[in-house]
């Protein structure tokens, strides 16, 4: 090990594991320890690094930045999108740039965990806690519509179910109960064994109301095949929890029309027990983007700057902007909307000039007019990020690089403007 | 591709639930354009009884279609111990996104997790590489 005392931070997901050890040789990473499969792959960097190109031909970074400024200057309604894989420094620069350009600004939270983060930052959900609190205190852990064994592999082992904690010295053996509520038999559901509850798609609200009834001493009813005894048994575990936590996955978020059912459940749980609520955020700094934009505008995503005014609404979401073909250029930073958006919407990106800033080639970059390679944050450049539970994490680069960070690229684009 | 010929093969309605897979995420981190990512993404997991009814065997190439798009993927028998007839599972990827609706009901959030589509045998067809998907070639 190169430096046994030095731990690194993994930026593959928003757990931001801070206990990563690496081996290096001649400024290359030759070994990664402690990280999950996804983390090891992220830290070892991609097989297809981004080339610097303009109209499909190799160019230098100065020319690419200068041409980026030209496109954005000429654009009447530009879109800036991404930033979930960028440092807080880059996010703040992107917000400044969006203001300067009167641009639309959005990120993946717009079609992901946005409603949950918004409810937390607006104070609509007060029952949140940190992952460290969970490790030290939690005796009942509920994964609802979430499968961390696949999406966040170290969530269970580092913070929730398996570790010993200050007040949970016996760990999962005796001190903790993990519960999975999902529409399919996920890997996490297998770990939860008998405490796994399968429900049909879109029936989450019905189960929430049945649980509220059961917690209120009423007989729970659901329209689907689920034994009342099972619902009462689940309600009983929740009621007896000394420190319970619900981790909400996209399965739960997508199945609800609004946040009211979750608020109802959390209020009831805290009447009879002691429960917290946290989102399972994917990209390592999505929450940082939401928090930084919220601090600046009062909104977490979906904004359009217009002189000193900030407009906000679903019509400024990346999905609606592209669907309605209302933007005339797109600056994509650390994201791949061609991959992550519905095909029926993403195809509209082909009709406008795209500029992509990313360490690796993406589907979007292969259709972009300009590509600017950036340093991979956490590996090639340092910075800070907000973990899924709201805790700020600082990190240093693991190796040196000649590539510049996305923060520096954005600063230079602004300078050109 | 001549999709007209699929009209002659029987179609079955299916509801697709999308999910994340750590091995697919690892492959994505390594190479979005690699064979491993494609092999772990362009698949649909079906209930064994549904496969029997449809006359589809594990490893068969199938054609999925709805009003938002179409895509060719490989059918795999589900390893779920609980039966899930009428429902199929696909890892979240540009292949599954080819079928996601652009209708959001003024929410800005498409329904990624539950997709209505039809499925039919696509004998002789190839699974498109990521760069050959319709999304990048319109």
Give me the number of domains chain A comprises.
2
Q: In chain A, what residues touch B108 (CB-CB under 8 Å)? A: 110-111, 302, 314-315, 317-320
Instruction: Summarize pLDDT for B97-130 with one digit per residue, the tens.
Output: 999 999 888 888 898 999 999 999 998 899 999 9
Q: In chain A, what residues touch B33 (CB-CB under 8 Å)? A: 48, 361
Residues A190 and A301 occupy one common structural domain: no
Residue at which a domain ends, from A247, A264, A279: A279
Residues A243 and A345 occupy one common structural domain: no
Q: In 3D, which of A334, A344, A326, A408 has the Cα closest to residue A365?
A: A334
- Our CA-based measurement puts residue B55 at a distance from the nearest CA of chain A, in whole angstroms, of 24
Instruction: Summarize pLDDT for B9-35 with one digit per residue, the tens.
Output: 899 999 999 999 999 999 999 999 999
Size of interface A-B (CB pairs under 8 A): 145
- Do residue B22 and residue A346 have CB atoms under 8 angstroms apart? no
Distance CA A296, CA A98 (A): 12
Which residues make Cβ contacts (< 8 Å) with residue A190, sequence separation at least 6? Answer: A149, A196
Beta strands in A123-198 (DSSP E): 140-144, 177-182, 196-198
- Do residue A110 and residue B109 have CB atoms under 8 angstroms apart? yes
Residues A264 and A121 occupy one common structural domain: yes
Please spell the DSSP secondary structure of A182-224, one letter per residue: ESS--HHHHHHGGGEEE--TT-HHHHHHHHHHHHTTSPP--SS
Residue A32 within any structural domain of the chain: no
Which residues make Cβ contacts (< 8 Å) with residue A13, sequence separation at least 6? Answer: A38, A39, A151, A152, A282, A283, A284
- The answer to whether A392 and A355 are in contact (CB under 8 A) is no
Sheet holding A329-333, edge to edge: A57-58, A53-54, A370-373, A354-358, A329-333, A78-82, A104-106, A303-306, A309-312
Answer whether residue A153 shows pLDDT above 50. Answer: yes
- Position B6 confidence tier, pLDDT thresholds 50, 70, 90: low
Distance CA A79, CA A326 (A): 9
Q: What is the pLDDT of residue A27?
A: 94
Q: Report residue B3 as tokens.
A: 């999709």
Helices A406-416 and A61-74, interaxial angle, to 10°? Answer: 60
Average pLDDT score, chain A: 95
- We report the CATH number of the domain holding residue A158 as 3.40.228.10
- Do residue A343 and residue B68 have CB atoms under 8 angstroms apart? yes
Residues A81 and A142 occupy one common structural domain: no
Residues A226 and A82 occupy one common structural domain: no
Average pLDDT over residues A278-300: 97
Residue A141 within any structural domain of the chain: yes
- The complex's ipTM works out to 0.92
Residue A238 within any structural domain of the chain: yes
Virtual torsion, Cα B73, A322, A406, A360, nearest 10 deg: 20
Residues A410 and A337 occupy one common structural domain: yes
- We report the CATH number of the domain holding residue A86 as 3.40.50.740
- Do residue A345 and residue B102 have CB atoms under 8 angstroms apart? yes
- Our CA-based measurement puts residue B77 at a distance from the nearest CA of chain A, in whole angstroms, of 14
- Do residue B114 and residue A201 have CB atoms under 8 angstroms apart? yes
Q: In 3D, which of A196, A161, A204, A222 has the Cα closest to residue B80?
A: A196
Residues A239 and A152 occupy one common structural domain: yes
Collapsing DSSP to helix, strand or coil, A138 comes out as coil
Of the candidates A111, A187, A338, the beta carbon closest to that of B110 is on A111
Collapsing DSSP to helix, strand or coil, A88 comes out as helix
Q: In chain B, what residues touch A48 (CB-CB under 8 Å)? A: 31-33
- Position A359 confidence tier, pLDDT thresholds 50, 70, 90: very high
Residue at which a domain ends, from A279, A309, A338: A279
Which residues make Cβ contacts (< 8 Å) with residue A64, sequence separation at least 6? Answer: A52, A53, A54, A370, A371, A372
Residues A139 and A272 occupy one common structural domain: yes
Residues A133 and A202 occupy one common structural domain: yes
Range with the poorest average pLDDT among A123-127, A356-360, B7-11: B7-11
Residue A388 within any structural domain of the chain: no
- The answer to whether A134 and A390 are in contact (CB under 8 A) is no
Q: In 3D, which of A123, A91, A126, A96 has the Cα closest to residue A109?
A: A91
Residue A395 within any structural domain of the chain: no
Distance CA B9, CA A296 (A): 56
- Position B1 confidence tier, pLDDT thresholds 50, 70, 90: low
SS3 readout for B48-96: HHHHHHHCCCCCCEEEEEECCEEEEEEEEECCCCCCCCCEEEEECCHHH
Q: Which residue, chain included where needed, has tokens 């620069």?
A: A93
Q: In 3D, which of A370, A352, A146 has the Cα closest to residue A249?
A: A146
Answer whether residue A309 shows pLDDT above 90. Answer: yes
- Position A1 confidence tier, pLDDT thresholds 50, 70, 90: very low
Q: In chain B, what residues touch A152 (CB-CB under 8 Å)? A: none
Residue A19 within any structural domain of the chain: no
Instruction: List the single residue in B with minimal CA-CA distance to A302.
Output: B108
Q: In 3D, which of A21, A85, A68 has the Cα closest to residue A360?
A: A85
DSSP A386: E
Q: In chain B, what residues touch A116 (CB-CB under 8 Å)? A: none
Q: In chain A, what residues touch B26 (CB-CB under 8 Å)? A: 37-38, 40-41
Instruction: Give, for A288, the enclosing helix (H) or strand (E).
Output: helix A286-297
- Do residue B100 and residue A344 have CB atoms under 8 angstroms apart? yes
Classify the phi-psi angles of A390: left when phi > 0, otherwise alpha if psi is within -120 to 50, otherwise beta. left
Residues A233 and A273 occupy one common structural domain: yes
- Our CA-based measurement puts residue B74 at a distance from the nearest CA of chain A, in whole angstroms, of 19
- Position A329 confidence tier, pLDDT thresholds 50, 70, 90: very high
Residues A275 and A349 occupy one common structural domain: no
Instruction: Summarize pLDDT for B68-90 with one digit per residue, the tens.
Output: 999 999 999 999 888 899 999 99
With pLDDT > 70 as the criterion, what percentage of chain A qualifies? Answer: 99
Quick one: A237 exposed, middle or buried, by C-beta within 10 A (0-12, 13-18, 19+)? middle
Q: What is the pLDDT of residue A213?
A: 97
Q: Which domain does A231 fall in, by range? A: 114-279
Q: In chain A, what residues touch B15 (CB-CB under 8 Å)? A: 201
For chain B, which domains are there?
A: 3-136 (2.40.40.20)
Report phi then psi at B94, rounded to 5.
-60, -25
- Position A167 confidence tier, pLDDT thresholds 50, 70, 90: very high
With pLDDT > 90 as the criterion, what percentage of chain A qualifies? Answer: 94
Residues A107 and A147 occupy one common structural domain: no
- Our CA-based measurement puts residue A183 at a distance from the nearest CA of chain B, in whole angstroms, of 8
- Our CA-based measurement puts residue B10 at a distance from the nearest CA of chain A, in whole angstroms, of 25
Residue at which a domain ends, from A234, A260, A279: A279
Residue A369 within any structural domain of the chain: yes
**Selected residue of A343, A347, A352, A365 to mutate for chain B interface (largest B Cβ count, 10 A):** A343
- Our CA-based measurement puts residue B25 at a distance from the nearest CA of chain A, in whole angstroms, of 6
- Do residue A184 and residue B97 have CB atoms under 8 angstroms apart? no
Quick one: B13 exposed, middle or buried, by C-beta within 10 A (0-12, 13-18, 19+)? exposed
Instruction: Summarize pLDDT for A5-31 with one digit per residue, the tens.
Output: 689 999 999 999 999 999 999 999 999
Instruction: List the single residue in B with minimal CA-CA distance to A257.
Output: B107
Residue A122 within any structural domain of the chain: yes
- Do residue B19 and residue A184 have CB atoms under 8 angstroms apart? yes
Q: In chain A, what residues touch B68 (CB-CB under 8 Å)? A: 342-344
- Do residue A201 and residue B17 have CB atoms under 8 angstroms apart? yes
């Amino acid at each position: 090990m190169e430096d046994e005392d030095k731990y690194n931070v993994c930026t593959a997901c928003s757990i931001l594991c801070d206990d990563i050890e690496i081996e290096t040789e001649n400024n290359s990473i030759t070994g990664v320890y402690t990280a999950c499969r996804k983390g090891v792959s992220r830290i070892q960097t991609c097989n297809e690094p981004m080339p610097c190109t303009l109209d499909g031909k190799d160019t230098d970074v100065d020319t690419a930045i200068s041409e980026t400024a030209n496109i954005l200057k000429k654009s009447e309604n530009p879109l800036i999108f991404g930033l979930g894989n960028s440092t807080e420094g880059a996010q703040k620069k992107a917000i400044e740039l969006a203001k300067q350009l009167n641009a639309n600004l959005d990120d993946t939270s717009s079609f992901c965990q946005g409603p949950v983060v918004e409810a937390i930052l607006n104070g609509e959900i007060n029952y949140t806690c940190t992952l460290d609190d969970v490790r030290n205190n939690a005796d009942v852990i509920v994964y609802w519509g979430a499968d961390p064994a696949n999406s966040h592999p170290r969530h269970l082992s580092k913070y929730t179910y398996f570790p010993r904690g200050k007040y949970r010295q016996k760990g999962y053996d005796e001190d903790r109960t993990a519960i999975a509520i999902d529409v399919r038999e996920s890997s996490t559901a297998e770990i939860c064994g008998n405490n796994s509850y399968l429900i049909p798609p879109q029936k989450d609200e019905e189960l929430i109301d049945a649980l509220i009834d059961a917690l209120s001493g009423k007989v729970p009813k659901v329209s689907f095949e689920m034994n009342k005894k099972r619902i009462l048994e689940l309600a009983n575990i929740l009621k007896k929890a000394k420190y319970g936590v619900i981790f909400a996955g996209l399965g739960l978020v997508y199945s609800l029309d609004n946040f009211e059912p979750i608020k109802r459940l959390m209020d009831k749980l805290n009447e009879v027990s002691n429960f917290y609520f946290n989102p399972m955020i994917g990209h390592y700094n999505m929450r940082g983007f939401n928090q930084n934009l919220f601090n600046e505008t009062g909104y977490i995503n979906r904004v359009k700057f217009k002189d000193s005014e900030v407009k906000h609404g679903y019509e400024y979401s990346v999905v609606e902007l592209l669907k309605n073909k209302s933007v005339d250029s797109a600056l994509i930073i650390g994201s791949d909307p061609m991959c992550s958006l519905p095909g029926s919407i993403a195809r509209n990106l082909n009709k406008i000039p795209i500029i992509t800033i990313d360490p690796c080639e993406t589907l979007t970059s292969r259709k972009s007019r300009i590509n600017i390679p950036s340093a991979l944050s956490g590996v090639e450049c340092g910075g800070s990020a907000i973990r899924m539970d709201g805790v700020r994490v600082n990190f240093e680069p693991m190796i040196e690089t000649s590539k510049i960070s996305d923060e520096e690229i954005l600063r230079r684009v602004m300078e050109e403007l | 591709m001549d999709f007209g010929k699929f009209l002659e093969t029987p179609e079955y309605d299916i509801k697709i639930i999308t999910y994340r897979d750590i091995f697919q995420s690892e492959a994505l981190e390594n190479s979005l354009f690699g064979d491993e990512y494609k092999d772990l993404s362009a698949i649909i997991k079906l209930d064994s009884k549904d496969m029997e009814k449809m006359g589809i065997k594990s490893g068969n190439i199938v054609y999925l279609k709805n009003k938002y798009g179409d895509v060719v993927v490989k059918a795999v028998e589900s390893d779920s111990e609980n039966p899930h007839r009428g429902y199929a599972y696909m890892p979240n990827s540009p292949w599954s996104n080819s079928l996601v609706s652009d209708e959001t009901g003024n929410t800005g959030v498409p329904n990624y997790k539950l997709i209505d589509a039809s499925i039919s045998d696509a004998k002789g067809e190839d699974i498109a590489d990521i760069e050959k998907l319709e999304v990048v070639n319109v």
